[in-house]
């Protein structure tokens, strides 16, 4: 079985790849992956604004999940990695992920990580 990935287009930090699986020369599956760019997102957080920082982080992640940029089953970066991406403390990320977990958008698996919930 041969698996091929082909980059379709790139826009606003989101890359779309086409996945095709070939078995004995026949195409047996096509799946589209959306990949979110985890570059520096510190500019998305307003530390002096009226909203709590963890609420802003949760809202940003919620927007990525609801737009489909983070597909169901996708593993999120670790809390420490997200903390450095957003430029906030690890506890802030933990609180944001807890809120998303309460809302049913993410699932935490001990020893494996945090994943976007399959709804």
My answer on whether 12 and 57 are in the same domain is no
My answer on whether 69 and 56 are in the same domain is yes
Tell me 20's DSSP state: E
My answer on whether 6 and 46 are in the same domain is no
Is the per-residue pLDDT at 107 higher than 50?
yes
**Overall residue count recorded for the chain in this entry:** 119
Is the per-residue pLDDT at 39 higher than 90?
no
* pLDDT of amino acid 36: 72
Closest CA to 32 of 14, 47, 19, 46: 19
Segment 86-114 shows an average pLDDT of 96
My answer on whether 88 and 58 are in the same domain is yes
pTM over 0.75: no
CB 31 within 8 A of CB 19: yes
My answer on whether 2 and 51 are in the same domain is no
Count other C-beta atoms under 10 Å from residue 60's C-beta: 15
Domain that holds residue 6: 1-37
Segment 89-104 shows an average pLDDT of 97
* pLDDT of amino acid 1: 42
CB 49 within 8 A of CB 59: no
My answer on whether 32 and 71 are in the same domain is no
| Terminal CA-CA length for the chain | 30
Which 3 state secondary structure label does DSSP give 88? coil
Closest CA to 58 of 78, 39, 44: 44
pLDDT digits (tens, 9 = 90+) for 47-81: 999 999 999 999 999 999 999 899 999 999 999 99
Domain count across the chain: 2
Segment 30-54 shows an average pLDDT of 82
My answer on whether 77 and 31 are in the same domain is no
CA dihedral 6, 69, 43, 105 (to 10 degrees): -150
My answer on whether 20 and 53 are in the same domain is no
């Amino acid at each position: 079985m041969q698996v091929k990935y082909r980059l379709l287009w790139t826009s606003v930090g989101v890359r779309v790849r086409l996945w095709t699986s070939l078995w004995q020369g026949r195409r047996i599956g096509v799946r589209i992956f959306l990949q979110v760019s985890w570059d520096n997102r510190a500019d998305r957080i307003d530390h002096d604004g009226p909203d709590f920082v963890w609420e802003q982080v949760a809202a940003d992640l919620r927007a990525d999940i609801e737009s489909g940029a983070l597909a169901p089953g996708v593993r999120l970066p670790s809390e420490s990695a997200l903390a450095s991406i957003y430029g906030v403390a690890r506890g802030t990320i933990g609180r944001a992920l807890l809120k998303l977990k309460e809302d049913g958008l993410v699932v935490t698996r001990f020893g494996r990580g945090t994943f976007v919930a399959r709804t």
